[in-house]
Amino acid sequence: MYKKSGKMISASVICDIARLQKEISLKWVSVDGDIIAVDHAIPTSFHGDGQTFNIKLLPSGEIRTVNRYTVIELNGEEVIL
């Protein structure tokens, strides 16, 4: 089950943090309702008006697209809309 860390950040901050292109950890809810957790990833780019962004998983190099409004945790902090 998802456990809250006690800290919260706004979903709008995700764009700012991701633009730094530094290693992050995040959790998001998939289309199927599963929680996906990634401990080591680097944001690589944004799409459209910033609703989605790509992350490169380390060390595999796999690229995943994430909708920022489905992110529930970023670097150990709970994300709120």
Neighbours of 40 (CB within 10 A): 13
The tally of domains found in the chain comes to 1
- Tokens 């289309």, residue located: 31
Q: Report the CATH number that the domain containing residue 19 is assigned in CATH.
A: 2.30.30
Q: Partners of 71 in the beta sheet?
A: 28
Q: Which helix (H) or strand (E) holds 28?
A: strand 24-29
Structure tokens at 45: 């780019």
Q: For residue 6, name the pLDDT band (cuts at 50, 70, 90).
A: low
Q: Is residue 3 in a domain?
A: no
**Residues 63-70: what's their mean pLDDT?**
92
Would the pLDDT of 75 be above 80?
A: yes
pLDDT, tens digit, 9 for 90 and up, residues 43-60: 998 876 778 899 999 989
Q: Is residue 60 in a domain?
A: yes
**Coil, strand, or helix at residue 50?**
coil
Domain that holds residue 76: 8-80
Structure tokens at 9: 């950040």
